A and B are shown apart, each in its own frame.
Chain A
């Protein structure tokens, strides 16, 4: 374990301040120049159900969580012990068992946990009187303690204690608190500081000179990096692409992105419209795309189900877009509304009846989420198809440290636009048969470009037509665009073979599992002589079958890794290449893979020499 590779957890009931405490601390860490990764698990619930953040810090980029917890900051007993053991299922056993020997637990004294009844004698327990600490901090400022007004600051107590444990200066936390508070509440900043300091002192008193086994070393010589969640990165990418119209219907975990964009409407050229459902969202976006603006919508699986007919409509009418960001969550139906999955690949590939071209692209991390969202608009315009960006809850809600989103310099391609002769002898043909399969689009409002198009099969002129030859021409034209895409979209965008060309094991993946795979490969390769590479397929429709087949055929050993039950990419690979990947690591718990879980899967496939394995176990 590198010295600064720390795994913190903040847990408590929803509504108790877990979110702000976590966001404040992760930002303070990021400002201190360390690399941060965080993810969050929460229920579909406003108030009371268990929520926890994992905050991982490291001195190198990390994009996944580890199973262990070094410091557990608890706002309630459930965070430590889990749910009532009498419930039918008790897979939520709390997080006590995840705390490493030598680790620490900070908990509110009123929960009543003592070193004697904790059940672990190999961890440090810091049971602190959260409310009393807040009270003393408030009174220090000459104010009368008022629970209704001041109790919300109790979430600063575990942060102060955490600073003491990790020898991290509380003054690195205070500026973040100040930034988050509105102008009218700036007077609370000094009180928050006092809470942090009092908590720091209380923890320090318990720890004594002995200290703690870990410290969080600031790296102040580092450039100021971003700490950004996927939904924010995708929102920024939409603005960068010139998306002028975003529609949505509230749904977890997608609406965060739209709400983020809504707040930017005053200063950026975008209108965000909250529609009455996802059918409306989709078809409004299709209308705007036809009218000439870059349009987008964002949703999760249940919403995409309603968007299905709009996908077929956009495709047969050759709309330039829209871009649909599909944040997958656990299905089917309402399923696991706030949990992660990769269950919607096959649905995204065939979202509606009939046969039609569209693009499905799955970014692997937060930078790719931004960059491929930008490219999705180019592709929508260039090929006049709707584009699905397959993200997920993990990407949406996790925070990642990056230098930038890598958007600068990405080209803008609006595709072929008709600028024909108003007085031309030939009337404009919206669905003209061309060698590229793409007909230059007239932007409504352009003189001479008047066209009609229709969800019925149609002629080059957009007239309803059921003639056989015309049907063949238009089907061939539309479907042929899939081949053109594969020829034109650079291979480096279609897929990536991360790592060396030749490896003991090739992990085949798509989407956000790239994040734990990257970290796990690095770990395994450090601990052993095993070499692992990762074929990450981004472009899922059209599918780069020839290139994928070639890579798979020369691989030594294959492992399919996906967050779903059926191994949906495996099915797609088999369908398109004829290659069946026998070894699978499939997870459908609604929780993302950890670095450790992927590392275990690698070791299961490529057993290590015993001595190395023993050393790895001990690490």
Chain B
């Protein structure tokens, strides 16, 4: 349905449900950015489906007025894939935490990159499992110990950006929950991208992660903001000629190099982007009808199957 006037963030506001996140949680920033980005994208609330995993981040669909599925731990990408393929007209936003996506859902993270279905995936990355009281998440680095951990981590962190590159994600970005304007822009870009778009969103967990705090990202200890915009330094992660293997390799290598940058400087923005055929394109190449008609429109319950039966006579 075309909306008479362009939607605003208020159109996505929920009045009968209030976030139960802790004060100072990065989830608030991501929620606000989602609402603003949806408004900028110009989609009516009923044309959007937000699918989430389990954890604090998983509650996000309850606080945004769209269709919403709050699913299972680690399975958000599976459900989002099913939703999008059933109805291509929906704007599908997948939301989950770092444990959800890079731990229990790691297999689906990899395979969703390969599949490249057209939806956006936001990962709330705070280094801890908040809802279960602060255990190490897959992005916590070896040797780190936040206050809720009895012992420091003894295994290495996953590099989500690097994993995304090698998994075939066609849009890979990093955002910061407290940098609203930039995050809104990234989410809009991700939604506009054809294919699976990943935004790894750094965020503080004020209760359990006393290392990755707002002050840490502000760089109070080193005298300058740690996060910086890649675009400000002339970095261009977009592959301009997807048929040029040399360019692809060069851009992937540059993005991988940036993905290891941590400590005093943490890069933000689009690290890698390429236009490649989506899974839907692949399906349409087998079945042209899929190009224009979603499954929900082309399904024919009760269709005559006698021609199929006859093949067995």
Contacts and interface: CB of A to CB of B under 8 A. Distances in A.
Contacts of A282: 78
Interface residues of B, number: 59
A575 interface: no
A479 interface: no
Contact of A287 (B45, B54, B81, B289): B81
A291 B83 contact: yes
Contact of A404 (B17, B44, B290, B309): B309
**Considering residues B16, B108, B298, B313, which has the most beta carbons from chain A within 10 angstroms of its beta carbon?**
B313
A276 B51 CA distance: 19
B62 A427 contact: no
A431 to B, nearest CB: 13
Contact of B309 (A226, A280, A293, A313): A226
6 contacts: A227-B313, A276-B108, A282-B78, A313-B71, A377-B301, A450-B67
A232 B312 contact: yes
Given A265-B286, A288-B85, A404-B309, A241 B90 contact: no
Interface stretch (A92-100, A138-146, A266-274): A266-274
Contact of B87 (A284, A291, A412): A291
Size range of the interface on A? 35 or more
A404 B305 CA distance: 10
A427 B65 CA distance: 11
Nearest to B15: A427
Interface stretch (A60-68, A80-88, A453-461, A508-516): A453-461
B75 A236 contact: no
Contacts of A291: 49, 82-84, 86-87, 90, 296
A243 B62 CA distance: 30
A269 B297 CA distance: 10
B70 interface: yes
Contact of A293 (B65, B80, B296): B296
Given A269-B300, A291-B86, A451 B71 contact: no
A412 B78 contact: no
Contacts of A404: 306, 309
B65 A450 contact: yes
User: A-B pairs with the 4 shortest C-beta distances?
Assistant: A287-B82, A242-B301, A452-B68, A454-B70
Contact of B301 (A294, A309, A448): A294
Interface in B64-100: 65-72, 75, 78-87, 89-90
A175 interface: no
Interface stretch (A50-58, A333-341, A439-447, A604-612): A439-447
A262 B37 CA distance: 38
A444 B313 CA distance: 41
**Considering residues B82, B86, B87, which has the most beta carbons from chain A within 10 angstroms of its beta carbon?**
B82
A246 to B, nearest CB: 11
A276 B300 contact: no
Given A291-B49, A452-B61, A452-B62, A310 B299 contact: no
A172 interface: no
A451 B54 contact: no
B1 A236 contact: no
A284 B79 contact: yes
A451 B51 CA distance: 12
Interface string A269-307: 111010111011011111111111111000000000000
A293 B305 contact: no
A385 B61 CA distance: 22
A244 interface: yes
Contacts of B306: 404, 408
B83 A444 contact: yes
B302 A242 contact: yes
B295 interface: yes
B143 interface: no
A288 B71 CA distance: 13
A464 interface: yes
A120 interface: no
B226 interface: no
Contacts of B90: 291, 444-445
B78 A283 contact: yes
A317 B69 contact: yes
B303 interface: yes
A284 B81 contact: yes
Contacts of B107: 276-277, 280
Contacts of A408: 304, 306
A292 B87 contact: yes
A450 B46 CA distance: 6
B283 interface: yes
A447 to B, nearest CB: 5
Given A276-B111, A407-B305, A444-B49, A271 B82 contact: no
